[in-house]
Amino acid sequence: MKLKPIARAAVFAAAFLAPSLVFADDFLGGPAIAGCDVYICWLGNLVLSIINLVLVPVLFAISFIVFLYGIAKSYIFSSGEPGEVAKGHKLILWGIIAFVVMISIWGLVNVVANTFGLAGFSAPPLPKSF
């Protein structure tokens, strides 16, 4: 039986590289962050940090800008034209929908993070007055 080059490579990988997966836990260790001493926990915390500290605030800002632009377009720039007022109302509606979707996604990410014991984040702290 003659093996094709791809099949030959797959057999080689299965025979010689697969046993190294037994020791995967030893050399996949990442930096210890918040009690994590394995790479997957560190990677999970990194993804959660990016979602909670970068992605969520940026998307909230974009949806807030769309909401404010809808208000301005509907009530300030429309001059009472029904078509322009309707376009502004659509932007306001899409801004509110974006707020609801972002809060839902943020909550789901934190529920999953707390379920698997990753360092999820709660609501951001309130601003302090000095």
Tens of pLDDT, residue by residue over 49-91, are 787 788 878 888 888 898 888 888 888 888 888 888 888 889 8
Asked whether residue 102 carries a pLDDT value surpassing 70, the answer given is: yes
d(CA 6, CA 107): 45
Higher local confidence (pLDDT), 94 or 55: 94
What pLDDT, on the 0 to 100 scale, is given for residue 29?
46
What pLDDT, on the 0 to 100 scale, is given for residue 109?
75
Which sequence spans correspond to the domains of the chain?
24-115
pLDDT band at 28 (very low <50, low <70, confident <90, very high): very low
Asked whether residue 34 carries a pLDDT value surpassing 60, the answer given is: no
- How far apart, in Å, are the Cα atoms of 63 and each of 18, 40, 43, 95? 48, 32, 28, 5
pTM over 0.75: no
Write the burial class of residue 118 (CB in 10 Å: 0-12 exposed, 13-18 middle, 19+ buried).
buried
The whole-number average pLDDT for the span 25-39 is: 52
